[in-house]
Amino acid sequence: AGSQIQGTASTPRRSRRRKSVAIAYDPGQGDGAEPRRPRWEPPAWQEQLQRIREMRRGRDAPVDEMGVHKCYDSSAPPQVRRYQVLLALMLSSQTKDQVTSAAMLRLRRRGLTVDSVLQMDDETLGQIIYPVGFWRNKVKYIKQTTAILKQKYGGDIPSTVEELVQLPGVGPKMAHLAMHIAWDSVAGIAVDTHVHRISNRLKWVKKETKNPEETRVALEDWLPRDLWKEINWLLVGFGQQTCLPVNPRCSQCLNQDICPAAKRL
């Protein structure tokens, strides 16, 4: 949203020299006013996006078959489903989808609720979620977060990004995905390592970004809001199958001729 200019309540004094106030006009509006410059956007991004959609048409990447949106019990009550989504997201950090999915299945067999996790001792929880990445830390974070959810939110999860990121072990990417999947609300773009890497390779950022959070801010500055929810699963699957971290399969990529990175990789 553009910035708004607020007027003062009192009547302005008449003076010989009038202060010039910059007013942003929409293109084609205003009496002789200079049109507002279009917001920056990457060249050829729409064509690149359409080709990625084509490559992702099969929806057969690990994220499609075993991503967080597939890990929760769809028959459980809404509050339990939302808790399971958040737990799957916490387990998924620096962990392959296959490993996260298997850990969630083992947890669900034990009856995965706020109360069941609180009643579980740390050793048992660790045995169930192993071998997810950093499983010892995740045991601690899961227990702390679950206790907060019980005490502060009545066993549900927060419904804002600001509250979600305050929970132990929950970062911005998880918070935005939790909003997408658990609450069906788009508050921002969920950026993981795949989205971060591909956005920089395609030059979808004005200048190179150093981390996923910088990439999120850069993408949200120009990418149309109606694409914010779609872009995560599109790029994650694309990154898992084609635009790999090491040795990307440029020869198989439909964007090979219009990707800035393809020529030097």
Same domain, 245 and 235: yes
Residue 114 in any domain: the answer is yes
What confidence score (pLDDT) does residue 246 get?
95
What confidence score (pLDDT) does residue 6 get?
43
Same domain, 75 and 48: no
One digit per residue, pLDDT tens: the chain, 265 residues? 444 444 444 444 444 444 444 433 334 444 455 556 678 999 999 999 999 999 999 999 999 999 999 999 999 999 999 999 999 999 999 999 999 999 999 999 999 999 999 999 999 999 999 999 999 999 999 999 999 999 999 999 999 999 999 999 999 999 999 999 999 999 999 999 999 999 999 999 999 999 999 999 999 999 999 999 999 999 999 999 999 999 999 999 999 999 999 965 4
Same domain, 80 and 169: yes
C-alpha closest to that of 134 among 174, 98, 90, 83: 90
The residue range of the domain holding 249 is: 40-59+188-264
Q: Which one of 186, 209, 224 terminates a domain?
A: 186
Same domain, 157 and 84: yes
Residue 179 in any domain: the answer is yes
Give the Cα separation of 200 and 215 in Å (integer).
Answer: 8
Residue 243 in any domain: the answer is yes
pLDDT tens track for 16-50: 444 444 433 334 444 455 556 678 999 999 999 99
What confidence score (pLDDT) does residue 1 get?
44
3-state helix, strand, coil in the chain (%, to 5): 50, 0, 50
Tokens representing residue 244 in the block? 């790999």
What confidence score (pLDDT) does residue 141 get?
98
Same domain, 177 and 163: yes
Same domain, 75 and 182: yes
Residue 4 in any domain: the answer is no
Same domain, 128 and 181: yes
Q: Which of 70, 173, 207, 263 is catalytic?
A: 173
pLDDT tens track for 146-168: 999 999 999 999 999 999 999 99
Same domain, 174 and 218: no
- Domains in the chain: how many in total? 2
Report whether 262 contacts 253 (CB < 8 A). yes
Instruction: State residue 139 phi and psi, 5-degree precision.
Output: -60, -45
Biggest CA–CA distance in the chain, Å, is 79
Is residue 173 part of the annotated active site? The answer reads yes
What confidence score (pLDDT) does residue 39 get?
85
Residue 35 in any domain: the answer is no
Q: Name the 3-class secondary structure at 19.
A: coil
Q: Which one of 165, 186, 207 terminates a domain?
A: 186
Q: For the range 126-130, what are the long-range contacts, defined as Cβ-Cβ under 8 Å and sequence gap of 24 or more?
A: 128/103, 129/91, 129/103, 130/103
DSSP label of 200: H
Residue 174 in any domain: the answer is yes
